[in-house]
């Protein structure tokens, strides 16, 4: 069972570039919480707890967003949906939170990780990861941390396509064309492509 993380945010009354700039000076990140029911709450959150949470959850793991209000705190299961960064500084300038229904399937992208040493690499080929993220559908609390692909049996000029991925129960890959995720190519072919 994964640890359920939480993040406290405060509604903000002021909007606009000037107000957001003043928040950033105080190391607060302006943001918006929204959900499929049309809720739209401007919020602000201290940058450090947001950064730490994002390192643990990325954009595909549900956490408890605690929205402070006059009626008391409201806890909403949420995802970090979008993050805007400063063009030159390592800072978050805006964040969108998306409230999810734990009983409804969501669509998210999860990272691809390879394990093993491909047979084709031993024979002189090169392992290429064509897609480093895969889009999946599942219930919010079933989102996997990653999709692990065992490439041990992969020979030269062979690919593993998205339909062949081994996914946890209740998780399915979303795709229109059965694209290659990883493959082994010959270095000579790669050089020829680069030259042409």
Number of structural domains in the chain: 2
Is the domain of 16 the same as that of 78?
yes
Burial of 83 (C-beta count, 10 Å sphere; 0-12/13-18/19+): middle
* Residue 4 pLDDT grade (very low, low, confident, very high; cuts 50, 70, 90): confident
For 24-88, give the DSSP string.
HHTTEEEEEEEETT--EEEEEEEHHHHHHHHHHHTTT--EEEEE--TT--EEEEEEEEEEEE-SS
* Residue 67 pLDDT grade (very low, low, confident, very high; cuts 50, 70, 90): very high
Q: Which whole-number Å values give the CA distances from 11 to 24, 82, 177, in the listed order? A: 15, 18, 42
Is the domain of 73 the same as that of 33?
yes
Contact 63, 78 (CB under 8 A): yes
Residue 1, domain member (yes or no): no
Residue 40, domain member (yes or no): yes
* Residue 1 pLDDT grade (very low, low, confident, very high; cuts 50, 70, 90): very low
Residue 62, domain member (yes or no): yes
Is the domain of 135 the same as that of 176?
yes
Instruction: State the Cα–Cα distance between residues 110 and 129, nearest whole angstrom.
Output: 14
pLDDT of residue 25: 85
Is the domain of 189 the same as that of 111?
yes
Is the domain of 10 the same as that of 94?
yes
Q: Which of 17-26, 75-84, 134-143, 150-159 has the lowest mean pLDDT?
A: 17-26
pLDDT of residue 2: 57
Give φ, ψ of 123 to 5 degrees.
-90, 10
Is the domain of 112 the same as that of 191?
yes
Q: Is the dihedral of CA 142, 143, 146, 148 positive or negative?
A: positive
For 159-172, how does the pLDDT look when each residue is reduced to its tens digit (9 = 90+)? 999 999 999 999 99
Is the domain of 148 the same as that of 73?
no
Among all chains, which residue has been given the structure tokens 């042409």?
196
Full residue range of the structural domain in which residue 82 is found: 6-99
- Percent of the residues in the chain that have a pLDDT greater than 70, as a whole number: 93
Is the domain of 80 the same as that of 149?
no
């Amino acid at each position: 069972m994964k640890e359920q993380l939480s993040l406290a945010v405060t509604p903000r009354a002021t909007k606009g570039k000037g107000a957001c700039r003043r928040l950033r000076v105080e190391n607060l990140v302006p943001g918006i919480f929204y959900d499929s029911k049309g809720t739209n709450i401007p919020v602000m959150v201290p940058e450090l707890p947001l950064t730490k949470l994002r390192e643990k959850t990325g954009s595909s793991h549900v956490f408890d967003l605690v929205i402070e209000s006059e009626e008391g705190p409201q806890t909403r299961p949420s995802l970090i949906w979008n993050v805007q960064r400063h063009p030159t500084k390592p800072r978050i300038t805006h964040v969108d939170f998306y409230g999810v229904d734990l009983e409804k399937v969501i669509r998210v992208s999860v990272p691809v990780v390879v394990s093993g040493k491909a047979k084709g690499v031993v024979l002189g080929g090169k392992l290429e990861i064509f897609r480093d993220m895969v889009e999946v559908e599942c219930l919010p609390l079933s989102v996997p941390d990653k999709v692990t692909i065992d490439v041990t049996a992969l020979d030269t000029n062979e690919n593993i396509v998205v339909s062949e991925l081994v996914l946890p129960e209740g998780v399915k890959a979303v795709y229109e064309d059965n694209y290659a995720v990883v493959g082994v190519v010959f270095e000579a072919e790669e050089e020829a492509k680069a030259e042409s």
